[in-house]
Structure 1
Amino acid sequence: MRVNVNGIGLEVQVSGEGPAVLLVHGYPDTHALWRHQVAALNAAGYRTIAPDLRGFGASDKPKDLAAYDLGEHVADLLNLLDHFEVERAHLVGHDWGASITQLVAATAPDRISSLSLLSVGHLSAGGPAAGIDQLAKFWYMLLFQFQDVAEQWLAHGDLTGLRMWAATHPDLEEVVTRMRDPEALTSGIAIYRRNVPPQAFIPGTLQAPPIKVPTMGVWSSGDVYLTEEAMVCSAPYIDAPWRYERLEDAGHWMQLDQPEKVNELLLDFIASLR
């Protein structure tokens, strides 16, 4: 369905009945990333709310770079909860969705029952704080800062650059089809341009508020973008019960590589908090 919140139109998939679970994707995805988790959560008695973030999928794609500030994404999600009359929700975020949902939890902990961070841990534990191996994996974040240059690299030869970058994505052809639209290509990397300035790579500059709701972090051993250290070192920044799970035989998009295991972890974690 189409929902207008915070001055923007978002495409949102809503299904099921019961306690609300808000599922938030990252780059270069849409709400479809969660299709296996939506089915399992609905079957277990949960209502799922899965938006396309601004700039992605069928949601609006503002031209102004400031519109992609993390604060705007946080406001979008909190307004979504208001729109659907959800007083408290379980949050599940992957990739940039993990960055955004942890800020939602920090901003409005009274609205959040739990937080599940997939792939990306606490922002203060990532980047320079995670060491040189993690910085090396973030090479593309610097590339994405260069307007037009990044788009040319990604789009050249029927998106050869994007195919290389997202080679392990199980839905690669669907991603490529969406990103053939130049507007989608630019709006997709806007979240990097707005929120990862060059100074973000200086140790000590990435500082985010502590998380004060029960939190689970899940990292997959085949992730080519993020190190395990960046997730494990999140623990000091969680002022609430913390659970860490390492998922084997899965890449960055663990929801698609190992859907049954991800479903099992999410259902077990959420149910443990009842």
Structure 2
Amino acid sequence: MTHQAWTHHEAVINHVRLHYVQAGPEDGPLVVLLHGFPEFWYSWRHQLPALAAAGFRVVAPDLRGYNRSEKPPGVAAYRLRQLVADVRALIVHLGSPTAALVGHDWGGVIAWAAAMRHPEVVSRLAILNAPHPGAYRRELRRNPAQWRRSWYVLAVQLPVVPDALGRLLRVRIGALLRRSSVRPDAFTDEDVRAYIHALGQPGALTASLNYYRALLRFPGDMPLMPIPARTLVIWGAQDVALVPQLSEGLDRWVPHVQVERLPQASHWVQHDAPEVVSRLLIDFLT
């Protein structure tokens, strides 16, 4: 998939071949966009041209295991420590001492951890519907609704469930995305075909589910340390997987946090409200 607003690249990053898309001026401040499950770089199709037009050098990788990036075997290859190392190595590869990280869903989990483990390379941090680990643990302790919404994290640990989920996701991804979004036109037929193509790459479904397996097998990879970077949290309030309380009380761990709640957006906040999300990001990063 091509577009005049961006270019495609590949490089060996942290010993894994990653594909990424780049837009904007080479000498602009670096912004790295990290997608979530079950997406790929295309998750940022609205924000890439908007941020580039604002003067940023924008890079959106396919995370390891997704779409055109390499898919190393085994669960341990997808532990959070490795995913964070990918991000840090990508910033080094791009020749910048620091970058602003923007992450959605799993990309947000990685961005939270990167800002804790490597604060020296994260100039600013923006999170879209991805729980801070401290807030997530808090809500699991006190909020039964979050346990009910987190059923799939436990389900993929079972031997036969991931294959069944994978088949369902591959066949029904368009319906699943549209049913859980707020805007009926958030995902066009062209978008759905792109997602089906990305998930259809050999090994992509197994790799994407290994993120969840590794999360529980290597819990020590998720740090809980203060984040010094200025942080923006954009939260779609109609998230079917994450309770809205996860966007509250973050200043305990993130002293310089700004929270923007969008009541008419879902978990797919950058798709439901692309113009609003792009404006919030540009204002925050400028």
Superposed pair shares fold, TM > 0.5: yes
Number of the residue aligned with 2:70 = 60
Q: Does 1:149 align with 2:161?
A: yes
Partner of 1:203: none
Deviation beyond 6 Å, 4+ runs, structure 1: none
Q: 1:82 to 1:182 in 2, by over 3 A?
A: closer
Query: Does 2:200 match 1:188?
Result: no
Once residues 64 and 215 of structure 1 are traced to their aligned partners in structure 2, the CA distance between those partners, rounded to angstroms, is: 33
Q: How does 1:65-214 map to 2 (within 5 A)?
A: 65-127=75-137, 128-129=140-141, 131-156=143-168, 159-160=171-172, 165-166=176-177, 167-168=179-180, 170=187, 171-181=191-201, 183-197=203-217, 208-214=224-230
Gaps of 5+ in 1: 201-205
2:46 pairs with 1:36: yes
- The CA distance in 1 between the partners of 2:90 and 2:169, in whole Å, is 38
Q: CA deviation at 1:158?
A: 6.1
Contact 2:40 2:198 in 1 (8 A): no
Q: Does the aligned pair in 1 maintain the 2:67–2:201 contact within 8 Å?
A: no
Q: TM-score, normalised by structure 2?
A: 0.85
**Does the C-alpha gap of structure 1 residues 250 and 172 become closer, same or farther in structure 2, counting only changes over 3 Å?**
farther
How many residue pairs end up in the alignment?
264
The aligned amino acid for 1:137 is: R
For residue 232 of structure 1, what is the amino acid of its counterpart? E
- Aligned identity (percent) is 34
Change (3 A) 1:235 1:148: same
Q: In the alignment, is the contact (CA less than 8 A) between 1:134 and 1:230 conserved in 2?
A: no
CA-atom RMSD, angstroms?
2.2
- TM-score normalized by structure 1? 0.89
Deviation at 1:180, TM superposition (A): 4.0
Supply the distance in 1 between the matched residues of 2:69 and 2:194 (Cα, whole angstroms): 17
Residues 192-248 of structure 1 show CA distances to partners (whole Å, capped at 9, x for unaligned) of 011135x97xxxxx762221111111110221111111121322111x311011012
| Stretches of structure 2 lacking an aligned partner (at least 5 in a row) | 1-8, 182-186
Question: Residues 62 and 147 from structure 1, CA distance in 2 versus in 1: closer, same or farther, beyond 3 angstroms?
Answer: farther
Map of 1:248 onto structure 2: 263
SS at match of 1:196: helix
Q: What whole-Å deviation, never above 9, does each CA across 1:17-74 have from its counterpart, x for those lacking one? A: 2101011011011111111111111100100011100011100111121000111011
Residue 14 (1) aligns with residue 22 (2): yes
